[in-house]
Structure 1
Amino acid sequence: MLKRSLLLGAALAFSTTAFAGTPFAGKWEARFTGGDQGHCAIHIKASGQLNGVCHGRNEGKTPFHVAGFVRGTIIHFGIAGTGAEFEGSLKGDHGKGVWRNTGDGGTWVLKKD
C-alpha cells in the first residue's frame, strides 16, 4: 500500500509539473533596432513554445517565420531564413533583449497585446 501511495504521489507531482504553463502565454509584439529595424508578431503557447512572423527593413519587408521557447523568464527565438537569433528576458507584460545575425545585431523590446 505504501509503495502504491508513493507511486501515485510521484505521478501527481509529475503531472502537475508537466502541465505547469508559462504565465507569459498570449500574443506579443516585438520591435527591433540596430543593424536592421522591424517588428515581429509572436504567439507564446501555455507550454512555452513560441512562433510568429518578423518583418525587417533590410529584407524588403519579406516576412520571416520565427520559432523558439520561453523557459522561466528567459525567451529565445530565431529566424531560420536569415539565421537571426533573439535572446532576452520577460517580466510582466514586457520583455527586452539582444539580437544577432552574422556580424550584425542590435536590441529589441517586446510587449504583450
Structure 2
Amino acid sequence: MHFEHVTIRAKSLLDSIAFYEEVVGLKLVRDMRPHAPIVFLANEEGATRVELIADGIAYTGGGISLGFHTENVEEKHTALTQKGFQPTPIITPNSHTKFFFIVDPNGVEIQFIN
C-alpha cells in the first residue's frame, strides 16, 4: 500500500493551480474540467500528488500541513518573501533539519524542509 494523493478543497481552482505549480513546483497531470471542477498535480516522478476540488466547500480545518522537500531552505525562503508571501522564520530543530511554513490560497499550511 502507498499514499496516493491528498485532496484540498480549493476556494479558487485557478489560484490554487498557480500556487502548486509556481511555488511548490508540481505540474498539472489530470484536468477533469469542464465535467467536474477537479484537477490533479504531481511531481515529475508522480510520487507526490495533490488533488484540488473546487466544489464550494472550502477547507476550514487546521492542524494539518503538507511538507515539501527543497534543496536550499534559505533560498526558497528569500524567493517566497520577494514574491510577497509571509513565511515563518526558518526553524532549525537540529543541525540536520531546517524548515519554514507559508499558507496556500486555501489556508493550508505548506512546509518547505531540508
- Output the TM-score relative to the length of structure 2: 0.27
Bigger RCO of structures 1 and 2 (CA < 8 A, at least 6 apart)? 2
Larger Cα Rg: Structure 1 or Structure 2?
1
- Output the TM-score relative to the length of structure 1: 0.27
